[in-house]
Amino acid sequence: MSTVVSAPGKVLIAGGYLVLEPAYSGIVISASSRFYTVITDKDGIGAFTIQVRSPQFVDATWKYTVSVSEARVDVQEHADNTSKNKFVYLALKKTLDFSHEVVGASSLSATLTQGLDIAIAGDNDFYSQRANLEALGLPRTLESLDKIEPFAATGVTLGDVHKTGMGSSASLITSLVSALLLHTKTIPATSFDEVHTDGRRLAHNLAQYVHCLAQGKVGSGFDVSAAAFGSHIYTRFNPDVIRPLMSDNSNIALQDIISPSNGDWNYRVEPFQLPPLTRIMLADVDAGSDTPSLVGKVLAWRKSEPEHSRALWTALDQTNQSLAKTLRKLSDMHAENSGAYTSAVQYIGTLETSQWLANPTRPAAERAIAQTFLEAHDLSESIRRQMREMGKLAGVPIEPEQQTQLLDQCVNITGVIGGGVPGAGGFDAIWLLVLEPVDTTTDGAPVARVEETWARAEAVSPLLASESLAKGCRVEFLDTVKGLKTAISRT
């Protein structure tokens, strides 16, 4: 029997930079693309040995020896490991430390007597598939992506892979920490059956801490939060909660700090999901050389222009919150009158936004729904303008000219609600929110129109992901995840 836990990737559609401060929030959408951790007790690996493998990569096996005493747990990397993985090492070390505190030395030793094989696999979306599609001679479409073998080998080392910005390290850490907590019986087996359990919150807190330690900084944490809880409106935690644990040799007990009953974990996770009959579309864009220090420069500007930047951030936050409210209102409108909602989507899905309210003879209920979709469009355009303004003032390409041209073209496609640059922005990705009418036989689907536009743009390659409605990380069965068993049996 294996323990299998998956955790979703993310896209921050509103709130980039602002979400670093507790006064502001971000809209984070969890993606259907996931990271999977598969833990199996295995003879032949050696007692108290943990082998972690990432079969999609070259030179990606790491072995560790664990020693457990009444007083402590030690995790030693094998001398013949040919590469290091700080993220994996810290996830093992800190989760086993935590487990030792909770279940005790003898229970933890019992889990480790056989040796553990831990296989990690990420959906193809986490890595650019541009080269794979070219090699297969396939056009850059969703259908082509579906033809690529699941969890395809990348042919390169982790350091050389071209990531797509979906939050690979956060999803990996969240799935690995969660799977280990379950496998060591540190949290109940049912912890991920529901959204609000102490086990899930504990896994989140521990994953946040491990991720911060591995990254060497305390970021906003929205990516780990999406991996743990799914789509939501995120407001950050006060970094002071984990500060005492941030030095590598801290000897403080983890339990008191990591426990969900520690009230200092003051992050807020407010329920959110995209409205019915809409779909998020993501693309990997190759629009120019990236500036790695966007965040550093924006924060330097925020510091040097405190008043001006606060005014801009407060105004931008209001637009972000209005977008969240408007999208929620659409979900409510669907709940109240799904017939009118379905017809409204059917109707406006064939028109450009300028025409959504042009016909005064449409039924009032449908016009109200179309009006709300139009508000969502206007708000996402307004967020883009404010993000561009921030980029200009901070002197960084948050929505560079190439992305502006591409996005202007995309948001004018019939049936597209809006879009933008995700997270911190830059040259390498865009997101769109697109209508998905039920009947596309006569007028075609907006998704297909977007794909056609993207296929013509040399720089753009779509990702398969849509929104994941599962609320964050979850337990999986090895046999029911397409291609997972084959992928993890590769050497």
Ligand X SMILES: Nc1ncnc2c1ncn2[C@@H]1O[C@H](COP(=O)(O)OP(=O)(O)OP(=O)(O)O)[C@@H](O)[C@H]1O
Place of tokens 């720089």: 459
Buried b (16+ CB within 10 A) or exposed e, 199-220: bbbbbbbbbbbbbbbbeeebbb
Say if CB 278 and CB 369 are below 8 A apart.
no
Distances (CA, A) of 205 to 127, 229, 257: 26, 11, 9
Contact window for ligand PMV (CB under 6 A) among 13-21, 338-346, 376-384, 448-456: 13-21
Residue 87 contacts ligand X per CB under 6 A = yes
Q: Which residues pair with 127 in a beta bridge?
A: 163
Contact window for ligand PMV (CB under 6 A) among 10-18, 131-139, 433-441, 449-457: 10-18
Contact window for ligand X (CB under 6 A) among 23-31, 66-74, 160-168, 440-448: 160-168
Q: Rounded distance, CA 170 to CA 342, Å? A: 36
Which of residues 115, 400, 423, 446 is near ligand PMV by CB under 6 A? Answer: 423
* Cβ-based neighbours of 207, under 8 Å, separated by 6 or more: 91, 170, 173, 174, 177, 178, 224, 227, 228
Which of residues 75, 105, 295, 365 is near ligand PMV by CB under 6 A? Answer: 295
Residue 165 contacts ligand X per CB under 6 A = yes
Q: Which of residues 319-358 bind ligand X (CB under 6 A)?
A: none
Decide: helix, strand or coil at residue 365: helix
Determine the size of the site formed for ligand PMV (CB under 6 A).
Answer: 13
Contacted entry of ligand X, ligand PMV, none for residue 278, CB cut-off 5 to 8 Å set by kind: none
Which of residues 5, 12, 226, 433 is near ligand PMV by CB under 6 A? Answer: 12
Contact window for ligand X (CB under 6 A) among 93-101, 167-175, 405-413, 442-450: 167-175
Residue 466 contacts ligand PMV per CB under 6 A = no
Identity of the residue, 12 or 207, whose beta carbon is nearer to ligand PMV in the bound complex: 12
Distances (CA, A) of 105 to 51, 70, 96: 20, 5, 10
User: What is the number of H-type helices and E-type strands within the chain?
Assistant: 15, 13
Q: Rounded distance, CA 479 to CA 461, Å? A: 30
Residue 312 contacts ligand PMV per CB under 6 A = no
Q: Which of residues 206-225 bind ligand X (CB under 6 A)?
A: 215
Which of residues 122, 418, 419, 422 is near ligand PMV by CB under 6 A? Answer: 422
**Least spacing, CB of residue 60 vs ligand X, in Å:** 6
What number of residues does the chain have?
491
Which of residues 30, 40, 49, 54 is near ligand X by CB under 6 A? Answer: 54
Contacted entry of ligand X, ligand PMV, none for residue 124, CB cut-off 5 to 8 Å set by kind: none
Say if CB 105 and CB 70 are below 8 A apart.
yes
* Cβ-based neighbours of 356, under 8 Å, separated by 6 or more: 348, 370, 371, 373, 374
Q: Residue 90: name the closest of 265, 248, 250 by CA.
A: 248
Residue 391 contacts ligand PMV per CB under 6 A = no
**Least spacing, CB of residue 94 vs ligand X, in Å:** 15
**Least spacing, CB of residue 211 vs ligand X, in Å:** 8
Here's the x/- map for ligand PMV, 16-45, by CB under 6 A: it reads as xx-xx-------------------------
Here's the x/- map for ligand X, 57-86, by CB under 6 A: it reads as ----------------------------xx
Decide: helix, strand or coil at residue 455: helix
CA 70 remoteness from chain centre:
38
Q: Can you give the binding site for ligand PMV, defined by CB under 6 A?
A: 12, 16-17, 19-20, 165, 219-220, 222, 295, 422-424
Q: Can you give the binding site for ligand X, defined by CB under 6 A?
A: 54, 85-88, 120, 122, 126, 158, 163, 165-170, 172, 215
